[in-house]
Amino acid sequence: MNNQLAFSDYLVFIIYFLIVASYGYMIYRRRKSREHDSKAFFLAEGSLTWWAIGASLIASNISAEQFIGMSGNGFFVGIAVSAYEWLAALALVIIAVWFIPIYLKNKIYTMPQFLKTRYNETVALIMAIFWLFLYVFVNLTSILYLGAIAINGLLPGHEYLHTVMIALAIFAVIITLGGMKVIGYTDVIQVTVLIIGGFATIYMALSVVAEKFGTGSGVIDGFTTLMREAPEHFHMILDKPTAASSQQDIDKYLIIPGILMYAAGQWIVNLNYWGCNQYITQRALGADLKTARTGILFAAMLKLMMPIIVMLPGIAAYVLNKSGKLDVVGGMDGAYSAVLGFLPTGLKGLSIAALTAAIVASLAGKANSISTIFTLDIYKKYINTAAEEKKLVITGRVVVVCAMIVAVLFTWDDLLGIGGAGGFTFIQKYTGFISPGVFAMFLLGMFWKRTTGTAAIVGLLTGFGLSVFFNEFAPAVMGHETFLYTAYPNGKGGFEIPFLICMGLAFMFTIIVMVLLSLAGPKINPKAFELDKSMFKLPPNIIAMIVVILLILMALYVKFW
């Protein structure tokens, strides 16, 4: 295994950087006439094609938490973690069919704007602040930390963590300052590099597995070897632990709680992330319905292949490590970097470029969303209501720089403990604290005309409070075994409920509270959205894309159940 970088590796990376920078600058020059148009800067209004929307969705979503965090979960748990990716494809179908028409018909540009339009300004302001804190202190920090760890692990000496961190932040800021159109179209390059580099990595990993075990030399031989050497890693549904289960099996179940997660938090994670998240929906909000739907379904198709790129290397690392043929340093989050050590000259540079593409695209998308929410939903409404377009764009750019500086400061010595929790789990767990309340607000706000603003505020606070309660206190207060849940020993002297189950419970009770409060109000809230069947009518090409996605999903679950 070679941990050194050759001249060709540096050359490949430099070529990637120059292509992205040059293309981004070209796009920026083309929109120079609208440089101080806030809608163009924040939303690229009407200028992204369906393939740019789809590619940008994936490039923004797939980042260090997937490459490093999900690969790490693949190392520890196995293919079951693919549920996050494969159910995301189904969630995107739901978003394309039912959510996007409502957003576009009501000219929604930001998620706080949705809440103001449907409920009131109080709900919108509370959520704007919530989202800003979440995006800066959970998302930006984790992407930056995991990304820097990953790339630093590939560099000679492994002594450049802080330098890599700063370089990633600067690269992302430069792209973000160009506006959403620059982000959207450079993401097409980013996702292309990401996919090519990702497939090159898994091709080499499977070839090495086959070679090390003497079963052949191709990817099919390597994949067959993985299934033979680690059959427990190829089941989508984990068995519920018993008294005889090992702590390792319990820890796996705490992350992926078997069939129960499909009736609880997994849907909330995906539908909230893809449908109620400024960071994601922003790419489609400036387009027409046909373009937005096609782009979202294109993203769903790309999503189906992502576990091959971001999860399978973790299983390869597990099999090689278990047999003593690979040394994985740093726990499960070190799995992906360990596999990259097998790459030959040139391909290592391509893999670093793929990682960088994923990280920078996600950082840029997240920074743009932070900038959009602060500028349009806080600065414009409460700080400088008379701000002109030029002032809004300048403010947005300042916010981008400030947010990235804060993220670097909190990531410098891992003040938030991202590394200890496991990157992917850290993001899912702490995002999950607000997901139940937020998704309940959006779901009832879209499809139940009776939902009131009071119910939304109480629901948001209830969802957050119950998420904290079930995650941190329920086992001690209510016991380890109740009709609602089972808490398991976490190996640290305490008991935990799987966080996806916590999300499901918090969501269920939040819905009940919101419904009861809304029943005390008018039968139809005057701020309710008008829905009609024509909004949800699907043309043949959209139906065909949905059928293909569903058939592939069915085949995957039949194979790996």
Tokens at residue 238, please? 């984990």
Helix axes 347-372, 7-30, angle to 10 degrees: 30
d(CA 113, CA 30): 29
Beta carbons of 513 and 440 less than 8 angstroms apart: no
**Helix-, strand-, coil-residue percentages of the chain, each rounded to 5:** 75, 0, 25
In tens digits, the chain (561 residues) has pLDDT values of 455 677 888 888 888 888 887 877 787 777 655 555 566 666 655 567 888 888 888 877 777 667 777 888 888 888 988 888 899 999 999 999 999 999 999 888 888 889 999 998 888 898 888 889 888 988 888 888 878 877 777 776 667 788 888 999 998 888 887 776 777 777 777 778 878 888 888 888 898 889 888 887 788 898 999 999 999 899 999 888 888 888 888 888 988 888 888 887 788 888 988 888 877 777 787 788 999 999 999 999 999 988 888 889 889 989 998 888 887 766 777 788 788 777 777 777 877 787 787 788 788 888 888 998 899 889 998 898 888 888 888 898 899 999 999 999 988 877 766 665 555 556 666 677 888 999 999 999 999 999 999 999 999 899 999 999 998 899 999 999 999 999 999 888 889 999 889 999 999 999 999 999 999 888 888 889 888 888 899 999 999 999 999 999 999 999 988
Beta carbons of 226 and 315 less than 8 angstroms apart: yes
Give the CA angle between residues 511, 90, 278 to the nearest 5°. Answer: 65
Beta carbons of 207 and 218 less than 8 angstroms apart: yes
Domains of the chain: 7-22+30-431+531-560 (1.20.1730.10)
- Cα–Cα distances in angstroms (integers) from residue 526 to residues 1, 126, 556, in the given order: 66, 21, 45
User: Which long-range CB contacts under 8 A does 547-554 form with residues at least 24 apart?
Assistant: 548/301, 549/89, 549/90, 549/93, 549/297, 549/300, 549/301, 549/304, 550/90, 550/93, 552/304, 553/86, 553/89, 553/90, 553/304
d(CA 223, CA 379): 53
33: DSSP letter = G
- Cα–Cα distances in angstroms (integers) from residue 134 to residues 44, 235, 316, 427, 428, in the given order: 24, 32, 33, 10, 12
Rg (C-alpha) for the chain, rounded Å, is 23
